[in-house]
């Protein structure tokens, strides 16, 4: 039995209700949520395992380079 080791980038965000959302950009449809960061990390590990078992295509994680948050101001014209 051959063992494969994968390293995936996980994006964690928090919604307006305080719930943490975790997404794996390298695996389409692989995401979960939790009430705390430890909980969402445990759940995303489980989600990744399920996605890898169910996905028949070979998944090749991309190399993580960095993350940047960009602020955009949007102006509204009032009538």
CATH at residue 28: 3.30.160.250
Write the pLDDT tens digit of every residue in 4-61. Answer: 888 999 999 999 999 999 999 999 999 999 999 999 999 999 999 999 888 677 788 8
The SS3 of residue 10 is coil
Query: Is 18:34 a contact under the CB 8 Å cutoff?
Result: no
The number of folded domains in the chain is 1
Supply the pLDDT for residue 64: 86
Tokens coding 7: 């390293």
Give the domain range for residue 16. 1-79
Supply the pLDDT for residue 61: 84
**Which of the pair, 19 or 76, is modelled with greater confidence?**
19
- What is the β-pairing status of strands 31-34 and 20-23? antiparallel
Write the pLDDT tens digit of every residue in 59-69. Answer: 888 888 888 88
This model's pTM is above 0.85: no
């Amino acid at each position: 039995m051959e063992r494969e080791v994968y390293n995936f980038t996980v994006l964690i965000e928090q919604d307006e209700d305080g719930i943490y959302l975790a997404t794996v950009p390298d695996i389409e449809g692989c995401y979960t949520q939790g009430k705390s960061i430890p909980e969402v990390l445990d759940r995303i590990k489980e989600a990744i395992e399920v996605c890898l078992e169910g996905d028949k295509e070979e998944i090749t994680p991309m190399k993580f380079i960095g993350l940047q948050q960009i602020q955009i101001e949007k102006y509204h014209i009032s009538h």
